[in-house]
């Protein structure tokens, strides 16, 4: 609880523990003294709106300063209290330490940004192969929009129909055992066109050791396969020509021996 001029009236043990102060130390601080300097302006703007009656309450994520100097990320909720004359007499603030949540959120943002930046298609599914997340490269490779893929079984989206039941049974046996599956596979785009896919599927386990997700990384190797096929064709042509030329030379040598 605090006054209109941000002086503390009462604080509970939890807030004292969060910021490392005794109750007496805390009550000698002003509201703004516990807020990270760069976050004071945003809080002040909302606080003034509250006092003017423009809003009844507000919630901000802001940094608070621990007694030892380190920064905490908090969810700071403020509500005005009036004794009946329509004027805010004092305010009540609720502080929730979200430092761990913020760190996790920032880490997740970094990972997602990294996955979006990679050139290869990335698909994350649940244990039943239902799509939970795809990156932009997936849309470019398959022709499906992200919204079309979410909730669908990844195999059903891109299944070419070329492989038999035993092929997929072997793949599932590998990843369900906790191992990584690697291979080349023919997949189908939304428009029906086929492409060669270099595929890696890795299981992800939770803290209890159970598989909670699969991460598939797909790389379109159609061009590479076409080049390899062209090289094989040219090698076959070359080998055939060598055989033909060898036969011609052998025949010519035979004729020369007959003439001598």
Q: In order along the chain (260 residues), what is the average pLDDT of each group of 10 residues? A: 91 93 92 93 94 92 93 94 83 93 86 84 92 92 93 86 90 94 93 93 91 93 81 80 79 73
Structure tokens at 44: 């002040």
Under 8 Å between Cβ of 187 and 160: yes
* Neighbour-count burial of 148, counting CB atoms closer than 10 A to its CB (0-12 exposed, 13-18 middle, 19+ buried): middle
Tokens 């070329």 locate to 162
What backbone torsions phi and psi does residue 83 show, to the nearest 5 degrees?
Answer: -85, 5
User: pTM of this prediction?
Assistant: 0.61
Structure tokens at 204: 């992800």
E-strand ranges in 46-120 read 57-65, 71-81, 90-97
Whole-number pLDDT of residue 239: 81
Whole-number pLDDT of residue 260: 63
Structure tokens at 146: 């992200």
Sheet with 90-97, edge to edge strand ranges: 57-65, 71-81, 90-97
């Amino acid at each position: 609880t605090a006054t209109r001029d941000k002086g503390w009236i009462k604080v509970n043990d939890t807030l004292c523990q969060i910021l490392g102060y005794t109750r007496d130390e805390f009550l000698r601080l002003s509201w703004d003294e516990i807020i990270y300097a760069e976050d004071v302006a945003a809080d002040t703007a909302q606080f003034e709106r509250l006092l003017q009656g423009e809003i009844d309450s507000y919630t901000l994520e802001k940094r608070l300063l621990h007694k030892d100097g380190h920064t905490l990320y908090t969810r700071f909720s403020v509500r005005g209290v009036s004794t009946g004359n329509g004027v805010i007499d004092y305010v009540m603030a609720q502080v929730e330490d979200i430092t761990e949540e913020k760190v996790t959120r920032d880490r997740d943002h970094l990972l997602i940004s990294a996955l979006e930046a990679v050139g290869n298609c990335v698909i994350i599914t649940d244990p039943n192969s239902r799509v939970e997340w795809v990156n932009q490269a997936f849309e470019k490779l398959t022709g499906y929009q992200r919204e079309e893929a979410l909730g669908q079984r990844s195999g059903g989206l891109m299944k070419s129909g070329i492989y038999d039941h035993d092929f997929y049974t072997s793949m599932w046996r590998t990843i369900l055992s906790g191992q990584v599956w690697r291979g080349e596979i023919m997949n189908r785009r939304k428009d029906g066109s086929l492409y060669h896919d270099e595929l890696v599927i890795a299981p992800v386990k939770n803290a209890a050791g159970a598989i909670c997700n699969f991460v598939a990384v797909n790389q379109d190797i159609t061009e590479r396969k076409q080049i390899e096929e062209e090289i094989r064709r040219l090698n076959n042509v070359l080998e055939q020509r060598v055989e033909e030329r060898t036969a011609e030379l052998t025949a010519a040598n035979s004729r020369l021996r007959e003439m001598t």
